[in-house]
């Protein structure tokens, strides 16, 4: 297996992007990523596209082909990866393996999602169906906030986590999003704002939930030989890739106080990268709902089981704390364009590791130059954990 580096990253502005179609949005992320890598589209031999709502919440059934044509990539090896909300990470790992195996010297992972072309109840319907339609949606109308609310209720009952603790996740992530010009929600909020927002699925309220976002992110990967040949000055190396899955039926999970797929995927990634959680300088975790960030702290080993809320209350996941988490605003406030999110996480970490976040106020201090991305698909149906190192 060859060493693989990230040599270029790009992102669109995330938000309500009714000014562009899916291919145009992909272009917005792709163009800066090839400029960053100082290559041309023809240099890319393999492209993995992450997108989830093709033909459902947006009109194109084959977003990989329309995006590839629009970006000048026709002819390259091409695939669309689906791993629900972790589709971007699935695309990233697919592109990674293409280069690591020696099959391609340069590959691209392109995450793109258009979620705002349909109305909100229809979006709730589509995403609610993303679990086990027959057994959990057909008769019971589970929504995504409801699925995560089941975890919140259980975590609160077992560990004494409170609604105020959940609110602190939203407050922190909105604070960092306010410093991130590509973020969907750039307003700062208070604990009271969260607690007084409308109930979506108890105990989760509106401000416990990520927004429904459009967005794209593009990552260019290359072999060590190509990195030398292209004179890349700040390659970011892919040190570990871990993945795992969970049951389709929520009723068959081990318990409701953590995501087993996150535990397994992170263990694999740490092992491959030969690092431990205490060596991380920065992490992005899957905070589609506030409870999910607390579960992630525990599942990926940033703290012991049941101590996620404590870690948060102590400010240890802020810049200046033990391990800054989601200092791009997270899914919660940067936004969650489902199939793009995994690539958007890698985009953020590459910028952090290269110490070139546009906004110095949210640059994590680098000691070991090691970063981790944790991306969950569905309600723990899939999980991808990626460890990067400069």
Partner 1 sequence: MAAMPSIKSREMKIVQDIPISKTLQFWEGLKQGKVLATKCKKCETVYFPPAADCPKCLASDMEWIELSNEATIETFTHVVIRPTTFQQNKPYTVAIGRLKEGVRVLAWLTGFKLSEVKVGMKVKLVAKVSSEGNPTYEFTRPE
Q: Looking at beta carbons only, is 57 or 384 nearer to partner 1?
A: 57
Smallest gap, in angstroms, from Cβ of residue 194 to partner 1?
A: 16
- Among positions 319-378, residues that touch partner 1 (CB under 8 A) are none
Q: Does residue number 276 form part of the binding site for partner 1 (CB under 8 A)?
A: no
- Give DSSP secondary structure letters for 284-336: E---SBHHHHHHHHHHTTSS-TT-HHHHHHTTTTSTTSSS-B-TT-IIIII-B
- Among positions 18-37, residues that touch partner 1 (CB under 8 A) are 18-19
Are 246 and 260 in contact by the 8 Å Cβ rule? The answer is yes
Q: Does residue number 252 form part of the binding site for partner 1 (CB under 8 A)?
A: yes
**What is the distance of C-alpha 213 from the center of its chain?**
13
**What CA dihedral angle connects 91, 124, 296 and 337, to 10 degrees?**
40
Smallest gap, in angstroms, from Cβ of residue 145 to partner 1?
A: 7
For strands 204-205 and 199-201, give the pairing. antiparallel
Q: Looking at beta carbons only, is 50 or 128 nearer to partner 1?
A: 128
Told to judge if 85 belongs to the known catalytic residues of this protein, a careful annotator would answer yes
State the Cα–Cα distance between residues 363 and 340, nearest whole angstrom.
22
Q: Does residue number 163 form part of the binding site for partner 1 (CB under 8 A)?
A: no
Report which DSSP code applies to 78.
E
Are 259 and 246 in contact by the 8 Å Cβ rule? The answer is yes
Are 210 and 332 in contact by the 8 Å Cβ rule? The answer is yes
Q: Looking at beta carbons only, is 253 or 332 nearer to partner 1?
A: 253
Q: Does residue number 122 form part of the binding site for partner 1 (CB under 8 A)?
A: yes
Q: Does residue number 234 form part of the binding site for partner 1 (CB under 8 A)?
A: no
Q: Looking at beta carbons only, is 8 or 145 nearer to partner 1?
A: 145
Smallest gap, in angstroms, from Cβ of residue 87 to partner 1?
A: 21
Q: Does residue number 141 form part of the binding site for partner 1 (CB under 8 A)?
A: yes
> Cα Rg for the chain, rounded, in angstroms?
19
Residues touching partner 1, count (CB under 8 A): 41
- Alpha helices (runs of H) in the chain, residue ranges in sequence order: 22-37, 63-70, 87-100, 120-128, 144-159, 163-177, 191-195, 224-229, 260-273, 290-299, 308-313, 341-353
Q: Does residue number 200 form part of the binding site for partner 1 (CB under 8 A)?
A: yes
Phi (first) and psi of residue 376, to 5 degrees = -100, 140
| Residue in 174, 336, 374, 381 annotated catalytic | 336
| Residue in 85, 209, 288, 383 annotated catalytic | 85
Q: Does residue number 130 form part of the binding site for partner 1 (CB under 8 A)?
A: no
Q: Does residue number 84 form part of the binding site for partner 1 (CB under 8 A)?
A: no
Told to judge if 288 belongs to the known catalytic residues of this protein, a careful annotator would answer no
Where do contacts with partner 1 occur on this chain (CB under 8 A)?
A: 16, 18-19, 59, 117, 121-122, 124-125, 128, 132, 134-136, 138-143, 145-146, 149-154, 157, 198-204, 249-252, 256
Active site (catalytic) residues: 85, 336
């Amino acid at each position: 297996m060859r060493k693989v580096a990230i040599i270029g990253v790009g992102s669109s502005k995330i938000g309500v992007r009714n000014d562009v179609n899916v291919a145009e949005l992909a272009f917005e992320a792709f163009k800066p990523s090839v400029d960053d890598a100082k290559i041309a589209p023809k240099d890319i031999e393999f492209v993995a596209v992450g997108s989830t709502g093709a033909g459902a919440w947006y009109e194109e059934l084959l977003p990989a082909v329309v995006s590839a044509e629009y970006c000048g990539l026709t002819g390259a090896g091409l695939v669309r990866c689906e791993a629900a909300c972790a589709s971007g990470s699935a695309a990233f790992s697919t592109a990674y393996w293409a280069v690591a195996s020696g099959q391609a010297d340069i590959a691209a992972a392109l995450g793109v999602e258009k979620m705002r072309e349909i109305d909100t109840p229809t979006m709730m319907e589509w995403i609610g169906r993303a679990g086990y339609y027959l057994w959990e949606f057909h008769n019971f109308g589970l929504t995504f906030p409801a699925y995560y609310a089941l975890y919140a209720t259980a975590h609160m009952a077992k560990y004494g986590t409170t609604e105020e603790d959940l609110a602190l996740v939203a407050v922190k992530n909105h604070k960092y999003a306010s410093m991130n010009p590509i973020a969907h929600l750039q307003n700062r909020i208070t604990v009271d704002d969260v607690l007084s927002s409308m109930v979506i699925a108890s105990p989760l309220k509106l401000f416990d939930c990520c927004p429904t976002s459009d967005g794209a992110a593009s990552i260019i990967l290359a072999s060590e030989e190509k990195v030398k040949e292209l004179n890349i000055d700040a390659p970011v190396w892919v040190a570990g890739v871990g993945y795992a899955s969970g049951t389709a039926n929520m009723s068959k999970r081990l318990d409701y106080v953590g995501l087993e797929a996150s535990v397994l995927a992170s263990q694999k990634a740490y092992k491959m990268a030969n690092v431990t959680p205490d060596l991380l300088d920065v992490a992005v975790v899957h905070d589609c709902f506030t409870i999910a960030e607390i579960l992630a702290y525990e599942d990926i080993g940033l703290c012991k089981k049941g101590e996620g809320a404590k870690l948060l209350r102590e400010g240890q996941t802020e810049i200046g704390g033990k391990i800054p988490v989601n200092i791009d605003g997270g899914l919660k406030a940067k936004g969650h364009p489902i199939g793009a999110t995994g690539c958007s996480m890698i985009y953020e970490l590459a910028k952090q590791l290269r110490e070139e976040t546009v906004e110095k106020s949210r640059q994590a201090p680098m000691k070991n130059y090691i970063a981790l991305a944790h991306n969950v698909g569905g309600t723990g149906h899939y999980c991808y954990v990626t460890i990067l190192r400069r």
